[in-house]
Amino acid sequence: MDYLKNRAGELAITLILLVGVLYILLWTPDISNKFSSPFHQYCHQSPASNQITTANTPPRDELETALDGASMGNNKTLIIAMVNKAYVEGETSMLSLFLESFWLGENTRFLVNHLLLVTVDQIAFDRCKFLRLHCYRLVTEGVDFGGEKLYMSKEFIKMMWRRTLFLGDVLKRGYSFIFTDTDVMWLNNPFSRLSRDENEDIQISCDQFYGNPWSEANPMNTGFYFVRSNTKTIALFDMWYVMKDNSNYTRMKEQDVLVSLMRKGVFRELGLKVRFLETLYFSGFCQDSKDFKVVCTVHANCCRSIHAKVADLTAVLRDWKKFKMVSTTTTNETSSTVRWSSHLACANSWRMNINSTN
């Protein structure tokens, strides 16, 4: 009888231990992803009051698979760029320069693992797959976005609006992202310079920086920006896209429409907190960074054609390689010995016949 009691006690203890082990395995929060992503210290979900719930999340589809594959685990943050065949063809293409900048930049190579390349034609998609990148083929419903679309041409404006619609869809799926044009060279990890304040909804580049990151006087540029997915940014993108059919905006590109909305107080009405990025760190041809050591991106803005951008961006990468070589061979102030080349091709691009944009 004592034997049976002892045996029953042993079984009870064993059962309790087994239940405890199962509880730990099944209910302990998974923190492995919290520190696995290099982005975690920079990119976080928006405050709980602004987060998008998953209750109404659409069924997993091809886009969801692509977004999930490029994002950083539970963080749901990624980098998005959009290309057509004009940006991927040629011995030296815009895409090849874009990717080369990640290779040459400081702490940027791994970022390619979190880049989603959105393609608008089959040639660009095939090139993306050949390069083994994260790729998504955007359906354009009979509109040909394959060739070069000169700045402010009708096709250019249509393509920019299609991009806005797509990015709004990404936000609705709960993903935050950096959007970058492929004529932006990534020379340092931009997450090291972006604000970590989760209350900041949008951080956007500008053609010129006037000293105050909160001033709407800074001329924004939608070629590079970081946006958090929340109810406010989704509302902005919805409102923004609807304006394409407004008769007052039919001849305006999407960037100019966003500026107009801002000046009408829409940012304040939605409660958006928008930071304008300093050109010291997020520069462009409109206003060069004055310091090679801290510059994160160089954008071929204030330029009109792909040919001109490729020529001047090739010079940018050449200047960057020269800086890196000098900085590793001397302890002197390297920024005083290296200068950006003049952006002559882009300056000359504005002399083209304006009628070619129609």
CATH value at residue 189? 3.90.550.10
More confident: 24 or 94: 94
At 141 the pLDDT is 64
Average pLDDT over residues 11-16: 48
Q: Specify if 131 maps to a domain.
A: yes
Could you tell me the pTM of the whole model? 0.81
312 falls within a domain: yes
Q: Which of 60-69, 205-214, 229-238, 279-288 shows the lowest mean pLDDT across its residues?
A: 60-69
pLDDT of 18 above 90: no
Q: Does residue 48 sit within a domain?
A: no
pLDDT of residue 60: 75
Question: Mean per-residue pLDDT for 284-306?
Answer: 95
> Which domain does 305 fall in, by range?
62-329+340-349
147 belongs to a structural domain: yes
What pLDDT does residue 46 have?
A: 39
Task: List CB contacts of 118: < 8 A, sequence separation 6 or more.
Answer: 80, 81, 82, 83, 136, 138, 166
**pLDDT score for 154:** 64
pLDDT category, 20, cuts 50, 70, 90? very low
Number of structural domains (the chain) is: 1
Task: Report the share of the chain in percent with pLDDT over 90.
Answer: 61
Note whether residue 103 is domain-resident: yes
**pLDDT for the residue 330:** 66
Residue-level pLDDT at 149: 45
123 or 26: which leads in pLDDT: 123
Position 336 scores a pLDDT of: 63
**Residue 357 pLDDT > 60:** no
- Could you tell me if residue 354 is inside a domain? no
Q: What is the mean pLDDT of residues 269-295?
A: 97
Residue 47 falls inside a structural domain: no
pLDDT of residue 9: 53
Average pLDDT of the chain, as a whole number: 82
Let me know if residue 57 belongs to a domain.
no
Residue 68, pLDDT > 90, answer: yes
Residue 227 pLDDT class (50, 70, 90 cuts): very high
Choose between 11 and 156: higher pLDDT: 156
What pLDDT was estimated at residue 252? 79
